[in-house]
Structure 1
Amino acid sequence: MRKCAFLSMDSLENFDCYDHLLFNPLADKGWAVEEVSWRDKQVDWNQFEVVVVRSPWDYQKDPEAFFKVLQEIDRSTARLENKLDLIKWNIDKTYLRDLESRGIEIVPSIWEDTFSIEQYPRFFEELSSSEIIIKPTISAGADDTFRIKRKDHKQYTDQLAKLFEQRPFIVQPFMPHIVEEGEFSLFYFGDTYSHTILKTPEQNDFRVQEEHGGRLKKVEPEKELRSLGQEILEQLNPAPLYTRVDFVRTEQDSFALMELELIEPSLYFNMDPESPQRFAEVFHNWVQGSN
């Protein structure tokens, strides 16, 4: 059996992870999979033929240490997926600016390096919104993400000033369709479209992650949504083994890019019974084609 590592974290106890659904389909292709924490300093990466970054959902707490581990893997004989250059670009949400400059519609965004109490009120004016979202440019799982109404903004001032004193962040208008309809996620393995799900937050929340009570439903994407996902996929170089593209519907009935996930997205293999086999097929051919 050929050896593959799924890069994970010390414990997934409080997370919903579906990567185990890949173990049997990959075994049928001759691959033995081992989940390995990125914090394990004793692991010899040379023992694996491929290391797939899958569920290191605490990397945002120490992104520099995480990236050093990825560099170590990249220097080993193991093949890293997705590629280091892609991860380096995707780890900071400023990649959204790059995609916007290439004609991709994103959620309107303000980018700040440090928090200013004096400038804080202007976010509502610039975004023409009575409600905003503030989150770090390096984040995962909705950590340190705030939904703030204009009338309540002063009560967050001290917390934001402390959290973003020396930490870049992004400000966006709250998108009503997140709660009215949900967030669409399209999944690709290589250049193969796999499936789409709609994630909706629980009542009185805006976070769509399962850990925060989000609900999932498999859907058939509209033609425009499929086209947008494909357009973004074709702009990525080097090509990713896996891609998740998150969209929200705008008030103008277009679709705006929320996130492009190339590092550690849940791929929701539980929502499409054929997706584990589909991934295993693409993965095996992907590695074979490079040898």
Structure 2
Amino acid sequence: MKKCAFLSMDSLDGYECYDHLLFDPLAERGWSAEEVSWRNGQVDWNRFDVVLIRSPWDYQQDPQKFFRVLQEIDRSSAILENTLELVEWNIDKTYLRDLQQEGIEIVPSLWKDRFDSRDWDSFFSGLSAEEIIIKPTISAGAEDTFRLRKSEGEKYAEQLSGIFSRRPFIVQPFMPSVVSEGEFSLFYFGNTYSHTILKTPKKNDFRVQEEFGGQLQKIEAGEQLLATGRQILELIEPDPLYTRIDLVRTSNHAFALMELELIEPSLYFNMDSASPRRFAAVFDRWMR
């Protein structure tokens, strides 16, 4: 039996994780899988054939240490997926600028190295927005993410200064369709399209994650949505084993890229009963 480690965190209490649904389909193909915390400094990575980055959802608290762990895995005999090269590119949201330069429509964005309250008005004028979203360029799970109106600048100035005094962040217009329609997530295993879900926030919220009360719905993706996803997928180098593409509808009825998730995205195996075996089949071919 070949061994696969699912890189996780010390405890997943309070999180919704569905990777256990892969255990049986992988076992059927000769793979044993176990969850291993990235913070466990005693792990011999050489005892695994493959390490899949799956649910280390606290890595943003110490991204430098996290990356050092990935480098250690990469130096071992284990294969790291997705690759270290992809992680290095995808870990900072500035990757969105690279994709924009390749012709991908992204949610309009301003990039800042540190927060200065004197810039407040320019966030709104620069984006022609009534409401904005502010979040770190390295983040996960909507941590330190704010939805704000122009009138709230003085109220949040001290908090934003504390969080972003030495931490780069991104400013985007709040996209009303996130609330009115939801956020679309497309999943690919290798080059194989798997499934699509629509994530909607609970009432009076904008965060679509389950941990904040977001609702999930499996949908049949339309041609335009699939074409946008495929266009993005074909720009990713090297090829990823797993990809989640988060899109939101724009005012002109196109789809803008919200996030490209290549490190530790939930792949929502619970939303498509065929997806665990689909992943196991792609994974097994990939490793051969």
The bucket for the TM-score relative to the shorter chain is over 0.9
TM-superposed CA distance for 1:49, in Å, is 0.3
Match of 1:222 in 2: 222
TM-superposed CA distance for 1:154, in Å, is 1.8
Moved segments of 4+, more than 4 Å? none
Match of 1:59 in 2: 59
Structure 2: state its 5+ residue gaps.
Answer: none
TM-score by length of 1: 0.98
User: What CA distance in whole angstroms lies between the structure 2 residues aligned with 1:138 and 1:86?
Assistant: 15
Q: How does 1:266-285 map to 2 (within 5 A)?
A: 266-285=266-285
Deviation track 1:65-123 (CA, whole Å, cap 9, x = no partner) reads 00000000000000000000000000000000000000000000000001111112210
TM-superposed CA distance for 1:151, in Å, is 2.0
Q: Which amino acid aligns with 2:216?
A: L
Structure 1: state its 5+ residue gaps.
Answer: none
What is the aligned-residue RMSD (CA, Å)? 0.5
Q: Which amino acid aligns with 1:199?
A: K
Match of 1:255 in 2: 255
Q: Which amino acid aligns with 1:60?
A: Q
User: What CA distance in whole angstroms lies between the structure 1 residues aligned with 2:207 and 2:232?
Assistant: 24
Match of 1:81 in 2: 81
SS at match of 2:118: coil
Match of 1:264 in 2: 264
SS at match of 2:220: coil
Q: Which amino acid aligns with 2:36?
A: V
Match of 2:38 in 1: 38
User: What CA distance in whole angstroms lies between the structure 1 residues aligned with 2:169 and 2:151?
Assistant: 21
Deviation track 1:117-151 (CA, whole Å, cap 9, x = no partner) reads 11122100110011000000000000000000112
Match of 2:145 in 1: 145
SS at match of 2:85: helix
Q: Greater CA deviation, 221-230 or 169-178?
A: 221-230
User: What CA distance in whole angstroms lies between the structure 1 residues aligned with 2:65 and 2:245?
Assistant: 26
User: What CA distance in whole angstroms lies between the structure 1 residues aligned with 2:76 and 2:234?
Assistant: 29
Match of 2:169 in 1: 169
TM-superposed CA distance for 1:174, in Å, is 0.1
* Percent of residue pairs identical: 67
User: What CA distance in whole angstroms lies between the structure 1 residues aligned with 2:255 and 2:157?
Assistant: 32
TM-superposed CA distance for 1:153, in Å, is 2.4
TM-superposed CA distance for 1:13, in Å, is 1.0
Match of 2:109 in 1: 109
SS at match of 1:103: coil
User: What CA distance in whole angstroms lies between the structure 1 residues aligned with 2:120 and 2:83?
Assistant: 37
Q: Which amino acid aligns with 1:32?
A: S
Q: Which amino acid aligns with 2:2?
A: R
TM-superposed CA distance for 1:152, in Å, is 2.0
Deviation track 1:148-206 (CA, whole Å, cap 9, x = no partner) reads 01122221111101110010000000000000000000000000000000000000000
Q: Greater CA deviation, 231-240 or 178-187?
A: 231-240
TM-superposed CA distance for 1:50, in Å, is 0.3
SS at match of 1:217: strand
User: What CA distance in whole angstroms lies between the structure 1 residues aligned with 2:79 and 2:218?
Assistant: 32
Q: Greater CA deviation, 120-129 or 46-55?
A: 120-129
Q: Are 2:56 and 1:24 equivalent residues in the alignment?
A: no
TM-superposed CA distance for 1:222, in Å, is 1.5
TM-score by length of 2: 0.99
How many equivalent residue pairs? 288
